Structure 1
Amino acid sequence: MFWSIIFSEEASANEGPTREEILQQRMAYYLQFQDILIPWYYLAAVDQYERNIQGVRKDIPKRDSIIAIQFSEDYWTGPLNPIINDTSPVTISYFGGMGLDGDGDGIVNSDDDEDVLFTMSSFLSKYGSHEDDFKLALWDYYQSEKVVNQIVTIAKLFKHYDSIDLDSHTFPVALGYNYSYRGTWGANRGWGGRRIHEGTDVFADYSTPVLSASYGVVEVMGWNQFGGWRVGIRDNHNSYHYYAHLAYYDKGLKVGDVVEPGQVIGYVGSTGYGKEGTSGKFPPHLHYGIYKFDGRNEWAFDPYPSLLQWEKEAKQARKKR
């Protein structure tokens, strides 16, 4: 019995914080360093973007902490600072470094989450409180319009739901309808030139409801000669979800709308492969694709494994109702 207690206590001590505890601590940091000019969701969006790209880029070190934001050494301590890993606010300021002391301990430490968030908050605050000011600050920092748009999308989602816990997904076709699918990634496609299939086809009857698989913001709607009537939704993980060959959209859906998992965005059709309005060149189905943005490039990856997992979870959730 004694050894069982010892081993149990040691196991508990070795367990890291839960996902919920990490999100709570992260949110506490955002609220701590927001101000009248910079709301928490701006800080959270920058931090989430940094976390996203660290997860897919091999040329960027992954910051192993609650906060993912990281600065270059030149930016933090000053480009001409001769002191490696300088932590003095006096010399850092003298050499034009941007690092600041966020916790009041007299040390400017790029490994300290409070110092890092305070530095980013101070940088953003210099530009003003309007969304256009936020966009300008992001442009000056990242020098990329696509990065700016991605971070603004994340901020919009966090603000709308007043939460950073937006990781849920669901299967993109309503479960109460007949459908079928299999892995079709990389299959040859001939119409419009030789190309490969960048997604998974979910075959279903005309007008079967198509659901948003994630939280996100509608980025694109309209006709595409390959995809017909399609919707493009960008989420808070730098992923672009592509829903194609729709018969029609859900009433009232428009670019800029915030959507959530399970929300109807359109209905299965067979549009595409021609000029606007072309339909019927193939059986009705949803073409679902996912594209990941890494801060430089955007590429497609196979959604089939995710669809299997989301379908399983959706069926389990349905049984519990």
Structure 2
Amino acid sequence: MISRPIWQRVLVLSLLLAATESEIQSVSAASNDVTYVQGPAPAPSKNTSALYAERKELFEKTSTLTGIPWTYLAAVDQYERTINIARKRPAHQGLTSIYFAESDWTGLMNPDQQDTNPQTIALFQGYGRDGSGDGVADRNNDLDVLASMTALMSKLGTRDEQMQISLWNYYQNSRSVERIKQFAAIYRAFGTLDLNGHAFPLPIGSDYSYRSTWGDSRGWGGHRIHEGTDLFARHGVPVRSTCYGIIEIKGWNPYGGWRIGIRDVNNLYHYYAHLSGYQKGIKEGDIVEPGQTIGWVGSSGYGKKGTSGKFPPHLHFGLYRDNGLAEWSFDPYPSLRKWEREDRNKRKNK
């Protein structure tokens, strides 16, 4: 049997997919329900749950043909989705959200930047491939886009480290590769794309109070604004993960004291500061889920390692969005109110 490049083997996807092209187009409208704004996406409806299932099936079948783990395909697609939103980039309307600029798709020196001919695109070293077998390389076609991305990812092989090098060659950004690795680990841990559930960071039954404090001025360590919301509670109240995610950082920070940062698959960084301690055994790289205890309320920070008691015990909670090059904070208060309301409703319905 002749060994063919992975992208050529992806041509048979059109014969193996359970969903027809018309079915793919029919769920593309549902993709508009998965909105990533300055905060978490809403809990999936029946339509979005079906969309996640369709998308995962597409990745699994592509994985069978290419040898690329479906979790890596999902991670690249999700990373692209978050970058599309953060950079306000035009997104492909389909099951996937992988974006190729016209010049990348057709080739930088290609005189026809609307070219859809796979042969001339290859001649000008464009990324575009025909994955559906119709003789056209269409960057708005899910199968063509996946064929192009799998060819790119597998250029050096399909082992993790080989794909990571290929992805770095494409993005020229170690931050992008790190996010894709993180997303793949989260998908691998839970086995699903449906990871938009959240939890309030403190137990609903505990005694706490908070208000919107994002943007308030702060003086310790120099003039700066408050990049989060303070939730006041008794020392030792459990602090919980608000999302499905991966622990990106844990340890001491002069401003935040004992702090922990969690990255979710929407490329949001959930920041918890002033803890009195951490849940036993928890470490960087661990995968967590909503409601899981990660530490306890304290008053650490504003000084050298171990400093505590310079202010009343509380949890500082922040949210940050990543655009692939930098991160910025946004007001977490609306999200906190939403998660609090959802947790109260769950408690009532038990």
TM-score exceeds 0.5 = yes
Change (3 A) 1:70 1:16: closer
Report if aligned partners of 1:177, 1:208 keep a CA contact under 8 Å in 2. Answer: yes
Partner residue of 1:150 out of 157, 179, 188:
179
Q: Distance in 1 between matches of 2:217 and 2:99?
A: 42
Name the amino acid aligned to 1:154: F
Q: Distance in 2 between matches of 1:98 and 1:63?
A: 16
**Which residue number corresponds to residue 204 of structure 1?**
233
1:31: how far off?
1.5
Q: Does 1:135 align with 2:164?
A: yes
Report if aligned partners of 1:290, 1:303 keep a CA contact under 8 Å in 2. Answer: yes
**Which residue number corresponds to residue 290 of structure 2?**
261
1:75: how far off?
2.1
Q: Mapping of 1:1-321 within 5 angstroms?
A: 16-17=29-30, 18-34=47-63, 35=65, 37-58=67-88, 60-321=89-350
Report if aligned partners of 1:29, 1:114 keep a CA contact under 8 Å in 2. Answer: no
- TM-score, normalised to structure 1, is 0.92
1:166: how far off?
0.7
1:224: how far off?
0.6
Name the amino acid aligned to 2:195: L
Report if aligned partners of 1:243, 1:287 keep a CA contact under 8 Å in 2. Answer: yes
**Which residue number corresponds to residue 43 of structure 2?**
none
Per-residue deviation, residues 57-77 of structure 1 (Å, max 9, x unmatched):
13x223222211021222222
Name the amino acid aligned to 1:49: Y
Report if aligned partners of 2:234, 2:314 keep a CA contact under 8 Å in 1. Answer: yes
Q: How many residues align?
A: 308
- TM-score, normalised to structure 2, is 0.85
Per-residue deviation, residues 152-203 of structure 1 (Å, max 9, x unmatched):
1111101111111111111001112111100011111111111111000000
Q: Distance in 2 between matches of 1:84 and 1:268?
A: 56
> Which is further off, 259-268 or 289-298?
289-298
Per-residue deviation, residues 76-97 of structure 1 (Å, max 9, x unmatched):
2222222342222222222222
Report if aligned partners of 2:186, 2:265 keep a CA contact under 8 Å in 1. Answer: yes
4+ residue segments displaced more than 3 Å? none
Change (3 A) 1:124 1:199: same
1:37: how far off?
3.3
Sequence identity, in percent?
50
For structure 1, list consecutive stretches of 5 or more residues without a partner in the other structure. 1-12
Q: Distance in 2 between matches of 1:218 and 1:178?
A: 27
